[in-house]
Amino acid sequence: MDAKQLKQFLQTEGATLVGVGDVTKALSKEIVHLNRGIAIAVNRSLTKETVDQLVRLQTLTEGWLKANGHRSLSIPPDSDRRKDKLITKLYKLFCHKTAATCSGLGWIGKNGLIINEQYGSKLTWATVLTDAPLGPDKPYVSSRCGDCDLCVRHCPSGAVQGHLWSLRNPLREIVSYDKCRSLKSGRAALKGKPNCGFCVTVCPYSRNGAKK
């Protein structure tokens, strides 16, 4: 099954990037039949409008797959932020970083975020899992951060550990999220913001910036 048609369709509808990954190894037994992960990204920061745009793209993807006789399961862009909802449990079963790396759209940077060669970490992601036998893209299996350590040096809480991500060692702690959270809770200037964001703004790959 040719993924090119689906990618072109979604890009016409506003997606910035679309990739297909073979996510077989990352699936828990509940969803093992859905072994293709369609990673969809838009070049915008995470706002309600961005979430709405990505959910619309997921709905279009589901419709396209259904019309071709296939099943799908959408993991919404903000599912990790929806407390006490069923979808929060889905996010624990599968996260967007896996689809993005498996579909060759980015690696996990030293800042713990998906880094895309062109857009850095200033993308917002959604995933659709499917049983459609779409031809997968070439995955990232290791980091391309290399010797860069800008996010390590500029993180004010010391949360960024400086480790290189690799598919062979996926559970290694790259960022101490406890340290990151405690910095936020101690600074009034960060009230209402998700975090300080220095590890994104200093990244050379992110300098093109996201649209607001």
Note the residues at the interface with ligand SF4 (CB under 6 A). 109-111, 115, 145, 148-151, 155-157, 159-160, 175, 180, 183, 195-199, 202-205
State the minimum distance, in angstroms, from the CB of residue 83 to ligand SF4: 20
Whole-angstrom distance, CA of residue 1 vs CA of residue 142: 28
Is residue 164 within 8 A of residue 145, CB to CB? The reply is yes
State the minimum distance, in angstroms, from the CB of residue 68 to ligand SF4: 37
Choose between 54 and 145: whose C-beta lies nearer to ligand SF4.
145
Taking the CA atoms of the chain, what radius of gyration do you get in angstroms?
17
Q: Whose CB is nearest to ligand SF4?
A: 109
Extract the tokens encoding 151.
């996010």
State the minimum distance, in angstroms, from the CB of residue 120 to ligand SF4: 7
State the minimum distance, in angstroms, from the CB of residue 126 to ligand SF4: 22
State the minimum distance, in angstroms, from the CB of residue 163 to ligand SF4: 10
Whole-angstrom distance, CA of residue 167 vs CA of residue 95: 14
Choose between 25 and 153: whose C-beta lies nearer to ligand SF4.
153
Whole-angstrom distance, CA of residue 94 vs CA of residue 148: 29
Task: Using the CB atoms, write b or e for 1-29: b if 16+ within 10 Å.
Answer: eebeebbeebeeeebbbbbbbbbeebbee
List Cα–Cα distances, 202 to 46, 82, 165, 194, 205, in angstroms.
19, 29, 19, 17, 9
Choose between 64 and 205: whose C-beta lies nearer to ligand SF4.
205
Choose between 6 and 114: whose C-beta lies nearer to ligand SF4.
114
Choose between 64 and 198: whose C-beta lies nearer to ligand SF4.
198
